[in-house]
Amino acid sequence: MASSSSSSSSSSSHLRSEGNNISSDGCNGVCMINITWRDEQKHSSLIRFISSFLDANSYRLKFLSIAPDFIFNNGGISVAFNFVTSWDPAKIPQFFSRVDKIKRQFKNFYVVVCLPAREQNDSFNRNFFKYGLGIGNPSIVPVLDPEMGFEKIVKIALARGVIKTEDIAFKMKVEREREMQSIDAFIRVITSIPGIDAHDANALIQSVGSIEAIAKASENFILQNTDLSKDKAEHIFRFFRDPEYYLRPKIN
């Protein structure tokens, strides 16, 4: 027994010394693990599994002093986890107190709990309602073993990252569409000036800017900063200053 314990301690120490620099090309993000959580694990094989699983999923691993057990940063979002690998009835008050504290600090927070036996599951459920945790706040993920639990953690982190990335992409698409609509409206206004076509309007967008800037620009400024002719520069200048000119019907 002593020999087995010594071997386990040596292996765990070796993992801890190397764990701060695990990295992969094409990185999905960073997984930060609470140093205290790591040191409390009874089996070094779990730490090895976590390291390998993160590496296979292109996450860099760092051991740090953090409030939750895990924080995943990927896709522009942080997702926090408490990971209970062994349900201990003696630590129930501390468990729920810590969960309540951390859920106030992180918008995206999950609790993964290993409950392999029915007695443990019943104990957790009784205390869940006793300590008044709201359903879904945080989300509770019961699992049968630590390996399954960590796989769930990584899947949740990846999914939240994908959702965030898609949300950013959607917002960028909407912004591009708004920009195009704005440019179209700009071109319609500028091409309503007699003698000005879409090419001229685009030249004005790139060189002068907004309609307000064009309205304030002098003929000389337009000539110096665009390829428009003197006649067109005069048309634009008069359009924004001479009511008789801009109220005159446009002839195509």
- pLDDT (0 to 100) of residue 8: 37
Is the domain of 162 the same as that of 208?
no
- pLDDT (0 to 100) of residue 243: 64
| Residue recorded with tokens 């206004």 | 189
Does an H or E element contain 226, and which? none
- pLDDT (0 to 100) of residue 3: 35
Is the domain of 164 the same as that of 196?
no
Mapping DSSP onto H, E and C, the string for 175-209 reads HHHHHHHHHHHHHHHHCCCCCCCHHHHHHHHHHCC
Category of 29 on φ-ψ map: left (φ > 0), alpha (ψ -120 to 50) or beta? left
How many helices (H) and strands (E) the chain has is answered by: 11, 6
Is the domain of 142 the same as that of 70?
yes
Output the six-digit token pair for 46: 């779990």
Is the domain of 117 the same as that of 216?
no
Q: CATH number for the domain including 75?
A: 3.40.50.10130
Give me the domain span that covers residue 144: 2-168
Residues 113, 120: Cα–Cα separation, whole Å: 10
Q: CATH number for the domain including 213?
A: 1.10.150.20
Q: Say if CB 71 and CB 110 are below 8 A apart.
A: no
Is the domain of 143 the same as that of 230?
no
Is the domain of 117 the same as that of 8?
yes
Return the sign of the alpha-carbon dihedral for residues 125, 129, 132, 135.
positive
| Domain assignment of residue 41, yes or no | yes
| Domain assignment of residue 223, yes or no | yes
Structure confidence by residue, pLDDT tens digits, 44-81: 899 999 999 999 988 999 999 999 999 999 877 899 99
**Residue type, position 106, single letter:** F
Average pLDDT, the chain: 80
Does an H or E element contain 139, and which? strand 139-143
Structure confidence by residue, pLDDT tens digits, 141-161: 999 999 999 999 999 998 887
